[in-house]
């Protein structure tokens, strides 16, 4: 190499997989997830609401502009 010469450096990164936190049944019961919608009066059918949220999230990638 000569001083002032341009070089191209390619860095390949290996991303390590991250472990997802798994809750035990006891931890889940103690979490704020259980009863999350209990006091909401705008959600009359929690199963239908959850289904609607899942459907929206599945379509999100296809409906959004790129």
Q: What is the DSSP string of 10-56?
A: -----PPPPPPP---HHHHHHSTTTTTTTT-SS-S-HHHHHHHHHHH
Higher per-residue confidence, 49 vs 37: 49
Q: Is residue 2 part of a domain?
A: no
Task: Say what the pLDDT of residue 22 is.
Answer: 87
Question: Average pLDDT of 1-24?
Answer: 85
Residue 17 pLDDT: 78
Inside any domain, residue 42: yes
Mean pLDDT calculated for residue range 39-52: 88
| pTM listed for this prediction | 0.40
Q: What is the mean pLDDT of residues 8-30?
A: 86
What percent of the chain lies above the pLDDT cut of 90?
A: 24
**Structural domain that includes position 48:** 25-63
Query: What per-residue confidence (pLDDT) applies to 27?
Result: 92
Provide the domain count of the chain. 1
């Amino acid at each position: 190499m000569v001083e002032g010469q341009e070089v191209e450096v390619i860095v390949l990164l290996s991303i390590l997989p991250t472990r997802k936190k798994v809750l035990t049944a006891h931890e889940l019961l103690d979490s704020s997830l259980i009863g999350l919608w209990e006091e909401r009066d705008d959600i009359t059918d929690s199963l239908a609401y959850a289904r609607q949220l899942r459907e929206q999230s599945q379509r999100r990638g296809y409906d959004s502009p790129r």
